[in-house]
Chains A and B, each alone.
Chain A
Amino acid sequence: MSGFPTLLYKELLRFWKVSFQTVAAPILTALLYLLIFSHVLADHVQVYEGVRYTAFLVPGLVMMSVLQNAFANTSSSLIQSKISGSVIFMLVPPLSYLEFFAAYVLAAVVRGLVVGLGVLICTLGLVDLQFQSPLWIFAFALAGSALLGSLGLIAAVWADKYEQIAAFQNFIIMPLTFLSGVFYSIHSLPPFWQQLSHLNPFFYMIDGFRYGFFGVSDINPAVSLGIVGASLAGLIWLALVMLRSGYKLRG
């Protein structure tokens, strides 16, 4: 029998044991964003016809939570194991690099979806939300969390200290999420910034995800999903190349 189910179980158990920090805390953060931004902007911003700003904001916040938590799960779990040395327990058993990758990223997807669902459920009472095409919602949540989970794994394999993971989070993940249209439609930006936003893969994840709710988006969701899928494929390839070579894990 393969060791894969156990590695997946261990990764799920790890974040579930500290769920106050890994699930409840990010849900609270998202709700605070909702409270403050909707209070300040609800009467000033109208993005799509017939959609209140608060409703517009919710899918953005849900997706942001999904992405950030998927990244946090793989990156913090692996860097912790690397620095404490307990990564050795996963390196001596007969686990292949594919099994290793799949278990880590799948656990990240689960954590991303659990947190995202938590945010969504908590906001249901506050906002009148539509669910035009749930399949798009699910497809983008899945692809987005897998993408960030893979990115977190790559970052943790590469990094030698916590500081580098924090830098990754603060200088790459945060700016890309905040500038992706979580809080606004890029149509409200000047043309130059609109063009620049098109280079941000996070923009397509948020935009496509939001399409699933309202049936409107800045970009055709099929195109967005194609771009997200291609980015995901690229990151999976990079992660697998790193793991197969033993880069920084098997000296």
Chain B
Amino acid sequence: MTAAIEVRQIGKRYGSLQALAGIDLTVERGEFFGLLGPNGAGKTTLISVLAGLTRADAGSASVMGHDVTADYRAARRALGVVPQELVFDPFFSVRETLSIQSGYFGLRKNDAWIDEVMHHLDLTDKADANMRALSGGMKRRVLVAQALVHKPPVIVLDEPTAGVDVELRQGLWQFIRRLNNDGHTIVLTTHYLEEAEALCGRIAMLRSGRVVALDSTRNLLNRFQHHVHLRVRISGNPLPVELAALVHHADDRGHVLKLKSFDDVEPRLTALRAAGCRIEEMEVAQPDLEEVFVEIMQRESAAEKSAAV
């Protein structure tokens, strides 16, 4: 079976900026895939190449086995893109916007599906409202609906929850999860790493136009979970010297000590008590995706600097 998305050695240069420097990536059908990276890493450029909004200088890309340039009609039918920018056409109502978008894909009697999409995105009340009159969150929902009018098997969401309130964000994820359960392949970029951790089965991390990490979310977390974070806020005596050496970082919620394993927690607490410290608050946690992300990006940044010397 062909992959949902297949990207081979994609390169793209804007003047002196190498936006994509030879990306290889395969997203299998039915996956919930995360595309993470700092601003300027190339996430949006990569999505643009898939959608035919940008032409790559090198390499090839296909959606559901259809090359995005040679077989662009089939490739675009298979893909729904929710763009990052909050764009809209001020001339039309929500329903007009959706039925026009559907018509662009050659689907002119699509009202039943359009009604269903509007229903799931809570847009039914606003069906006849002009796009201009909608709030930012509502416009965002219309963008999602527009990407779905042609029932694409592959859906790409470029930071769909940027600037969206908690309620809409949860409703949106519920809907996207349902689409994924129904067999749609989902590719997501987001800056909210806890969202990616909760939703994505596999994650690629991009930096400077290259893939710097590509693995299942579980493996990425495990790779860095060879240690445990013990957060303590103490009063009384200061932190004893042998524990001060273990401090990973400190903030207004106390000290975070980096320990080798859970077995290490108890002796450290004993040491604290022996030193006359009183524990006001305590928390034991494993690193989350955000820490994994920061560590990978720092490692890459260091590698870039040493390569440049």
**Cβ-defined contact, A86 with B88, below 8 A:** yes
Cβ-neighbour of B55 out of A89, A92, A93, A250 (below 8 A): A250
Q: Does A44 contact B (CB under 8 A)?
A: no
Contacts of A91 in B (CB 8 A): 51-53
**Cβ-defined contact, A246 with B91, below 8 A:** no
**Cβ-defined contact, A92 with B52, below 8 A:** yes
Q: Does B76 contact A (CB under 8 A)?
A: yes
**Cβ-defined contact, A88 with B53, below 8 A:** yes
**Cβ-defined contact, A3 with B106, below 8 A:** yes
**A94 CA to B72 CA in the complex, in Å?**
7
Q: Does B192 contact A (CB under 8 A)?
A: no
**Cβ-defined contact, A93 with B53, below 8 A:** no
Contacts of B48 in A (CB 8 A): 251
Contacts of B100 in A (CB 8 A): 6, 9-10, 89
Contacts of B52 in A (CB 8 A): 91-92, 250
User: A86 with B87: in contact, given A92-B52, A93-B76, A250-B55 (CB under 8 Å)?
Assistant: yes
Q: Does A129 contact B (CB under 8 A)?
A: no
**Residue of A6, A86, A94 most packed against chain B (CB within 10 A):** A94
Q: State how many residues of chain B have any CB contact under 8 Å with chain A.
A: 34
**Cβ-defined contact, B54 with A3, below 8 A:** no
**A90 CA to B51 CA in the complex, in Å?**
11
What sequence of 0s and 1s flags, for each residue 49-69 of chain B, a beta carbon within 8 Å of any chain A beta carbon? 001111100000000000000
Smallest CB–CB gap between B89 and chain A, Å? 5
**A93 CA to B80 CA in the complex, in Å?**
9
Q: Does A1 contact B (CB under 8 A)?
A: yes
Within 8 A of A (CB), among B238-295: none
What sequence of 0s and 1s flags, for each residue 212-251 of chain A, a beta carbon within 8 Å of any chain B beta carbon? 0000000000000000000000000000000000100011
Q: Does A166 contact B (CB under 8 A)?
A: no
Within 8 A of A (CB), among B143-170: 146, 150
What sequence of 0s and 1s flags, for each residue 6-50 of chain A, a beta carbon within 8 Å of any chain B beta carbon? 110110011001100000000000000000000000000000000
**A96 CA to B106 CA in the complex, in Å?**
12
Q: State how many residues of chain A have any CB contact under 8 Å with chain B.
A: 28
**Cβ-defined contact, B54 with A1, below 8 A:** no
What sequence of 0s and 1s flags, for each residue 104-141 of chain A, a beta carbon within 8 Å of any chain B beta carbon? 00000000000000000000000000000000000000
Contacts of B146 in A (CB 8 A): 89
**Cβ-defined contact, B87 with A90, below 8 A:** no
**A14 CA to B100 CA in the complex, in Å?**
12
Q: Does B83 contact A (CB under 8 A)?
A: yes
Smallest CB–CB gap between B285 and chain A, Å? 41
Smallest CB–CB gap between A73 and chain B, Å? 13
**Cβ-defined contact, A3 with B103, below 8 A:** yes
**Cβ-defined contact, A1 with B91, below 8 A:** no
**Cβ-defined contact, B103 with A17, below 8 A:** no
**Residue of A10, A81, A92 most packed against chain B (CB within 10 A):** A92
Q: Does A5 contact B (CB under 8 A)?
A: yes
Cβ-neighbour of A13 out of B54, B91, B106 (below 8 A): B91
What sequence of 0s and 1s flags, for each residue 65-89 of chain B, a beta carbon within 8 Å of any chain A beta carbon? 0000000111011010101010111
Smallest CB–CB gap between A157 and chain B, Å? 15
Q: Does B173 contact A (CB under 8 A)?
A: no
Q: Does B101 contact A (CB under 8 A)?
A: yes
Smallest CB–CB gap between A32 and chain B, Å? 28
Contacts of A9 in B (CB 8 A): 100, 103
Smallest CB–CB gap between A85 and chain B, Å? 4
Cβ-neighbour of B105 out of A10, A17, A93, A250 (below 8 A): A93
Cβ-neighbour of A88 out of B76, B83, B150 (below 8 A): B83
**Cβ-defined contact, B103 with A81, below 8 A:** no
Contacts of B14 in A (CB 8 A): 251
Q: Does B108 contact A (CB under 8 A)?
A: yes
Nearest A-chain residue to B19, judged by Cβ: A251
**Cβ-defined contact, B53 with A92, below 8 A:** yes
**Cβ-defined contact, A14 with B91, below 8 A:** yes
What sequence of 0s and 1s flags, for each residue 110-128 of chain B, a beta carbon within 8 Å of any chain A beta carbon? 0000000000000000000
Contacts of A18 in B (CB 8 A): 91
User: A95 with B103: in contact, given A14-B91, A251-B53 (CB under 8 Å)?
Assistant: no
Cβ-neighbour of A246 out of B55, B76, B88 (below 8 A): B55
Within 8 A of A (CB), among B93-109: 96, 100-108
Nearest A-chain residue to B81, judged by Cβ: A92
What sequence of 0s and 1s flags, for each residue 160-187 of chain A, a beta carbon within 8 Å of any chain B beta carbon? 0000000000000000000000000000
**A10 CA to B108 CA in the complex, in Å?**
13
Smallest CB–CB gap between B62 and chain A, Å? 15
Contacts of A86 in B (CB 8 A): 87-89
Smallest CB–CB gap between A10 and chain B, Å? 5
Contacts of A5 in B (CB 8 A): 103, 108
Q: Can you give 6 contacting A-B residue pairs, CB < 8 Å?
A: A7-B104, A9-B100, A13-B91, A86-B89, A92-B76, A94-B73
Closest 9 CB pairs of A and B: A6-B103, A93-B104, A1-B106, A94-B73, A85-B87, A3-B104, A94-B76, A86-B89, A251-B54
Known: A7-B104, A96-B73. 9 other contacts (CB 8 A): A2-B106, A3-B106, A6-B103, A86-B89, A88-B53, A89-B101, A92-B79, A95-B104, A251-B48
